[in-house]
A and B are shown apart, each in its own frame.
Chain A
Amino acid sequence: MKIDKELAVGFFLLIGILALAYLSVKLGRLELMGGRSYSLYAEFEKAGGIKSGAVVEIAGVQIGKVKNISLDNYQALVDMSIDNYVKIQEDAIASIKTKGLIGEKYIQITPGGSDRILPAGGKMRETESAVDIEELISKYAFGKV
């Protein structure tokens, strides 16, 4: 009888630890296996405002997020993880957009019409960098020296 009680406590503790582990993975949005998404790269001239964890959307629907941003040959190389069920065509365009006027930055993909689908680890060639409104204003208001 005594052993059974201890066993039960141990058992509940184990369940508790498992639940905690599950919770931290879920809340932290960690990907342990990476089984539900694949990786795509996109090269931007300027990745201004995009942070890892930023949302990747098609038609306003989240289909993935930014995993990592690095500098490659003085250009921004953005590593995105895209949900497996979404296929991205080779001529799809990735653009950096802003939610509202001063909202957060996200990556919007406009699907293309090509028959060629980008494989996992492929690179999106067509990209539009963030439009720097301040830079534009200063350029056209004051001219460039």
Chain B
Amino acid sequence: MVRKAGIFCLLITCLLFFSSGSYAGEPTNLMKQTIDKVLDILKNKELKKPQKTNARRAAIRNVVGERFDFEEMAKRSLALHWKKRTAEERQEFVPLFSDLIERAYIKKIESYTDEKVVYSGEKTENMYAVVDTKILTKRNVEIPIQYRLLKESNRWKVYDVIVEGVSLINNYRNQFNKIIREKSYEELVKRLKKKQEEDLLEKK
């Protein structure tokens, strides 16, 4: 009798464990933490002042950097051409790439005004995970954003973001590939650096 009750309890705990594990697991919680942290920074009235823009951006960069694996993203964006790069070239490229992404998205993030983020699903498979989120804008438009995460040395990190079904990595992969095929890798680095400088000038 006692044994039966024991087995029953075990079954119940198993069920509970699996039912909670299939939804809102570790990757979703981690994404939620990161997004909440960014939202907190954006909501912070002190940091909203124009003269604090740089401090605010640095804070956002810090939080995002913890969760996003820019080296993996750069590697996936260069794809076939990553293998041909030397260690020095790779070291040079990763910050250029993360800068490019930052410049492309920081303005969009900063234009945030009370949109809601909904976590709509998660799928984990071995070392890969997909977290589905939706942003609800004020006009009630839903923008689906999917984060793809990879577990490396026991840490979940984002390696791709899919907005409205379009992959960020694939976008850059196609563009980089085109530039490298038509011109050269050096030309790509030159263009990235030029863009970086232009934006720096713009800021001043």
> In the complex, A142→B49 CA distance in Å?
34
Please encode chain B, from 114 to 137, with 1 for each CB lying within 8 Å of some chain A CB and 0 for all others: 000000000001001000000000
- Indicate if B44 sits at the interface (CB-CB under 8 A): no
B82 close to A113 (CB less than 8 A)? yes
Residues in A neighbouring B166, C-beta threshold 8 A: 128, 131
- Indicate if B45 sits at the interface (CB-CB under 8 A): no
B79 close to A113 (CB less than 8 A)? yes
> In the complex, A91→B167 CA distance in Å?
12
- Indicate if B173 sits at the interface (CB-CB under 8 A): yes
A144 close to B140 (CB less than 8 A)? yes
Interface secondary structure of A, over-half rule: loop
Residues in B neighbouring A113, C-beta threshold 8 A: 75-76, 78-83
- Indicate if A93 sits at the interface (CB-CB under 8 A): yes
- Indicate if B139 sits at the interface (CB-CB under 8 A): yes
Residues in A neighbouring B141, C-beta threshold 8 A: 139-140, 143-144
- Indicate if B169 sits at the interface (CB-CB under 8 A): yes
> In the complex, A144→B142 CA distance in Å?
7
- Indicate if B174 sits at the interface (CB-CB under 8 A): yes
B140 close to A145 (CB less than 8 A)? yes
B165 close to A91 (CB less than 8 A)? no
B164 close to A128 (CB less than 8 A)? no
> In the complex, A143→B142 CA distance in Å?
9
A89, A113, A129, A143 pick with most chain B CB within 10 angstroms: A113
> In the complex, A111→B170 CA distance in Å?
10
- Indicate if B157 sits at the interface (CB-CB under 8 A): no
Residues of A18-62 whose CB lies within 8 A of B: 45-46
B residues near A (Cβ < 8 Å) are 75-76, 78-83, 125, 128, 139-142, 148, 160, 162, 164-167, 169-170, 173-174, 177
List 7 interface pairs A-B (beta carbons < 8 Å), by A numbering: A89-B79, A93-B173, A113-B75, A126-B160, A128-B165, A128-B167, A130-B165
The 7 A-B residue pairs whose C-beta atoms are closest, nearest first, are: A113-B79, A113-B82, A93-B170, A143-B139, A112-B79, A129-B165, A128-B167
Given A139-B142, A140-B141, A145-B140, list of 18 further CB < 8 A pairs?
A: A46-B165, A93-B167, A95-B167, A110-B79, A111-B80, A112-B80, A113-B75, A113-B81, A125-B128, A126-B148, A126-B160, A126-B169, A128-B162, A131-B166, A136-B164, A139-B141, A144-B140, A144-B142
A residues near B (Cβ < 8 Å) are 45-46, 89, 91, 93, 95, 110-113, 125-126, 128-131, 136, 139-140, 143-145
